[in-house]
Structure 1
Amino acid sequence: MFTGIVQGTAEVVEVREREAFRTHVVAMPEALRQGLETGASVAHNGVCLTVTALDGAHVHFDLMRETLRVTNLGEVVAGSRVNIERAARFGDEIGGHAMSGHVMSVAEVLFVEEAPDNRRLWFALPEPCVRFVFDKGYIGIDGISLTVGEVRRPTDEPAMFCVDLIPETLARTTLGERRPGDGVNLEIDPQTQAIVETAERFLQSRYEAI
């Protein structure tokens, strides 16, 4: 489990390509490597990956076909930076919200609104996620626990939503580098998803009974 509180960014120093498979070699800061062992879980842009090898400051992670298909990690190249979060441990402060590291979809950055002390990013809302995203609800974007600022569902255009970013988030994560056309990983709040799906099943059963 993860909390969506990104601990920093790390550079992908090498990408080893194979058929429908790749390995990322990441130069992780020393503070994030403390106690790290093979088999540990580390989130990259919100995607739960497993440590497959340790080579000094370089940590290896394997990415399977499905990971490359449903996330933005397939676009990563040597020199790219990714958001990093170690798996939560019992007793850790949950400053964000519970996240599994299982990305549901990739959302495109539509436009950016700049302000002196913050930034608002608008994203296209993929159809599979529309029913789970609400004003002031939780959402995971590239592994960052954020609050949805506003959701727009125009009848003649695709749905969209925005989040507001404080300077600390812009400095600590890669969201400050995102520009229109970029893709970000979305993870829906698991509790919201469970509530919505339960309500839908209940209403469907009542409808069928009637």
Structure 2
Amino acid sequence: MFTGIVQGIGRIVSVEQPAADFRTHTVELPEHMAHGLQPGASVAHNGCCLTITETGGRLAKFDLMGETLDKTNLGRLKEGDAVNLERAARFGDEIGGHLMSGHITATTAITRIERSGLNTTVWFSLPAALRPYILPKGFVGLDGCSLTVGQVSDTEFNVHLIPETLQRTLFGTRQEGDEINLEIDPQTQAVVDTVARVLANKGG
């Protein structure tokens, strides 16, 4: 599990692709995230949970299978690109965001970015299948960042970002059209799906 608080930005130092549906990324982690790394540990890359296969110093290798390449923005990464990173949460850690599984629901494109002084509002396309789960003041995971939803329309939703978030995550360099990994809040999904099922049964 993860908390949606990005701990650092890593750099892709090499990409190996022995097959169209399989990749291995070698990532250089920030110094403060590299201690105690072991094969089998989980690290979220842009919110997607990946497993360490090899380690050495600040470098760690991660395998990405076809499903990950299809359903996330990680398949578009190339050597030199950056990724938001978070190591798996441990018992006793502060939960500063919200609990996230690291299982990406979908990708969504940035449709526009509005800036006013120190305030930044980022708008995203809202996939029709996810409309029931994206609610004003609800939680959403975007490229591994736990964020609060602002406004929601039939086709878009937004989040408001403080300068600290822009500095510490890739949102400081994101542009209109960029594809972002999205994870809906699992508790919201459970409540919405349960209510829908109950109402459907009563209607029947």
In structure 1, runs of 5+ residues without a counterpart are 154-158
State the alpha-carbon separation in 1 of the partners of residues 190 and 59 from structure 2. 38
Q: Is it true that 1:3 corresponds to 2:3 in the alignment?
A: yes
State the alpha-carbon separation in 2 of the partners of residues 152 and 185 from structure 1. 19
Secondary structure in 1 aligned to 2:147?
A: strand
Secondary structure in 2 aligned to 1:184?
A: strand
State the alpha-carbon separation in 2 of the partners of residues 18 and 203 from structure 1. 49
Q: Within 5 Å, give how 1:1-210 maps onto structure 2.
A: 1-19=1-19, 20-153=21-154, 159-208=155-204
| C-alpha RMSD of the superposition | 0.7
State the alpha-carbon separation in 1 of the partners of residues 32 and 44 from structure 2. 15
Q: CA deviation at 1:128?
A: 2.1
Q: CA deviation at 1:129?
A: 1.1
Counterpart residue type for residue 162 of structure 2? I
TM-score (norm 2): 0.98
Counting aligned pairs with the same residue, the percent is 53
The ranges of structure 1 where at least 4 consecutive aligned residues each deviate by more than 2 angstroms after the TM superposition are none
Counterpart residue type for residue 14 of structure 1? S
In structure 2, runs of 5+ residues without a counterpart are none
Q: CA deviation at 1:55?
A: 2.2
Give the paired residue count.
Answer: 203
State the alpha-carbon separation in 2 of the partners of residues 118 and 80 from structure 1. 26
Q: CA deviation at 1:177?
A: 1.1
Q: CA deviation at 1:56?
A: 2.1
State the alpha-carbon separation in 2 of the partners of residues 128 and 63 from structure 1. 25
State the alpha-carbon separation in 1 of the partners of residues 79 and 13 from structure 2. 5
Secondary structure in 2 aligned to 1:34?
A: coil
Secondary structure in 2 aligned to 1:5?
A: coil
Q: CA deviation at 1:199?
A: 0.5
State the alpha-carbon separation in 2 of the partners of residues 25 and 79 from structure 1. 11
